[in-house]
Structure 1
């Protein structure tokens, strides 16, 4: 399906390991990670725990598994998780929290995926026998459907404090936490301060082929190990994959700033052509295009772009997503945006009123 796609901006999960990363993987020292005998896996866990200011960490096959194991540790059946209505955990993880942990969501409406401590306080259930028990507040950094928006560290601390004041845990879906750290100029640990659990994804902007690392207290991670095995997450000689994560943290972390610059460049070109772009201020590597004012819908525009070797995401018939990453250069971003502009300009006689 993607054979003829040269410029893939559908997601930063499109990244592929570089030759240098593959070389590091081949040379990795490995062992049985389920018996704590894989030195490379252990090194990655220690590295990420330190990065996030946590006591311990656990290497897992995916970021979604990081979220689901966190909920399994924090929740019991019938509990409730408070999250943004546009959060990935609510709309894009196969209802895993309800299917696995037996927990439901109580959502907060927010266009940019960021909410306040007062929103949390309003969402927490009063303790009654017939009500679900509010158990976890879950935040997403960066907020994907908020256009890659970055939670301020002050807001994160306030939300965590509000959760703790009422006996709830605070969890961070840190799928793009490295992007937030680079964009804000603050360390990842400053973002996770006050969180009971958090994780980073290795397979997005960091460019690894697979994996996420979940962090928390020693007791939390000890319980997470049980759920990892129960969910079939044993990977044995996983050091080959963990080596990619160590390479990424050494070589691909700081360069995330380039992806942010490229996203802003795409947005500038689109705006100059009259295409509405969200968010107003592009902070990281995600932006959305509003194509409601054109005769072609998002799917048709995407199909024409594919004819030029460009792939963008289609969120709805009027909304497209652009995600920059290390496998797309600045020149390719310019070319992709140029193709988009030419396609919508060709519709000028058919353009409908905005």
Structure 2
């Protein structure tokens, strides 16, 4: 059992078969029929003009930011945003784009008054504020639809574009019981990760206008992301979006079960209000030696990432019975 992340999901048997039999060509020449079909289908599915298949969510976000912004421009985002905190500073290093992070509210949203105050005047002393980047889900929390409506209004009033890091946007859609297109409609660009809970082995999508995607395609080549017979990967990506979405509801149910169980273990505390999808954060008191606990679990074939708070992520390769086993082992380890 591996609770570190939903990135550890194994591809399904159907994915492995589709990968083995996928028609392929050279995607840098635009000749791979399976990649082309995925990109065309995904653009229509999510309500955008075009799509680009990329190696990872980090690459998709980088290309999105660089396609929206020029050197010396700035984007607004959250302090906890993945494309600010966990992507090696790529926008700044490779795009010369300045991030302007704003403290996230407890529910993951960003305060519009703080965002407004962070927009730079049109003055040669300042970076040019061009873009607002949101993340949904963020730390497992779902941005309310009313907030997305307000964000669209905010960027329109302030002459900005709006990007969504939608690595787990399907988790958000499933949690809200809506079609993903209802979320996508508010954004000028969006990423979707295929290799997290949706279980493809590799890949993410960047979605946007035809003009933005053409810029991103050139940038993808520039940063070394041109792939050749990539249809082998795209075939699994299509199945991720068509066959694996229903699994996310089970993942969410398992996360809720885990949260309840953790609250019953001495030294563990979970704010169940924020367990909205497949990610559970537990705060630990000083009585818990999480490094020793992790070693004990590892001896039983259970993998976690020690920390405080500690993050557990449910996914298709974690069953309800696995939750029971984990809870029992944790209870025993902290006794």
* TM-score normalised per structure 2: 0.95
Question: Residue 30 of structure 1 corresponds to which residue in structure 2?
Answer: 24
Provide, for residues 24-59 of structure 1, a one-character-per-residue CA deviation record: whole Å limited to 9, x for no partner.
111111112122221111111122212321111000
More displaced stretch, 106-115 vs 251-260: 106-115
1:263 partnered with 2:255: yes
**What aligned pairs does 1:88-107 form with structure 2 within 5 A after superposition?**
88-107=82-101
The match for 2:278 among 285, 297, 308 is 285
**In 2, are the aligned partners of 1:161 and 1:194 still within 8 Å (CA)?**
no
Cα distance, 1:31–1:259 mapped onto 2, change above 3 Å = same
Question: Residue 156 of structure 1 corresponds to which residue in structure 2?
Answer: 148
- What is the alpha-carbon distance in structure 2 between the residues aligned to residue 117 and residue 30 of structure 1? 46
Question: Residue 130 of structure 1 corresponds to which residue in structure 2?
Answer: 125
**What aligned pairs does 1:51-70 form with structure 2 within 5 A after superposition?**
51-70=45-64
Task: State the shift of 1:329 in Å.
Answer: 1.2
- What is the alpha-carbon distance in structure 2 between the residues aligned to residue 181 and residue 295 of structure 1? 35
- What is the alpha-carbon distance in structure 2 between the residues aligned to residue 190 and residue 123 of structure 1? 28
Task: State the shift of 1:207 in Å.
Answer: 0.4
- What is the alpha-carbon distance in structure 2 between the residues aligned to residue 120 and residue 244 of structure 1? 39
Question: Residue 206 of structure 2 corresponds to which residue in structure 1?
Answer: 214
- Give 3-state SS (helix, strand or coil) of 2:23's partner: coil
Task: State the shift of 1:295 in Å.
Answer: 4.2
Question: Residue 225 of structure 1 corresponds to which residue in structure 2?
Answer: 217
- What is the alpha-carbon distance in structure 1 between the residues aligned to residue 160 and residue 217 of structure 2? 22
Question: Residue 85 of structure 1 corresponds to which residue in structure 2?
Answer: 79
Provide, for residues 199-255 of structure 1, a one-character-per-residue CA deviation record: whole Å limited to 9, x for no partner.
100100010110001000011111111001111111111111000011122210122
- What is the alpha-carbon distance in structure 1 between the residues aligned to residue 45 and residue 176 of structure 2? 15
Question: Residue 187 of structure 2 corresponds to which residue in structure 1?
Answer: 195
Question: Residue 184 of structure 1 corresponds to which residue in structure 2?
Answer: 176
- Give 3-state SS (helix, strand or coil) of 1:138's partner: strand
Provide, for residues 169-214 of structure 1, a one-character-per-residue CA deviation record: whole Å limited to 9, x for no partner.
1110010001111111111111122211101001000101100010
- What is the alpha-carbon distance in structure 2 between the residues aligned to residue 322 and residue 36 of structure 1? 40
- Give 3-state SS (helix, strand or coil) of 1:313's partner: coil
Question: Residue 141 of structure 1 corresponds to which residue in structure 2?
Answer: 136
Root-mean-square deviation (CA, aligned residues, Å) is 1.5
**In 2, are the aligned partners of 1:87 and 1:113 still within 8 Å (CA)?**
no
Cα distance, 1:279–1:70 mapped onto 2, change above 3 Å = farther
- What is the alpha-carbon distance in structure 2 between the residues aligned to residue 107 and residue 286 of structure 1? 23
1:313 partnered with 2:308: no
**In 2, are the aligned partners of 1:210 and 1:241 still within 8 Å (CA)?**
yes
Gap regions ≥5 residues in structure 2: none
- Give 3-state SS (helix, strand or coil) of 1:311's partner: coil
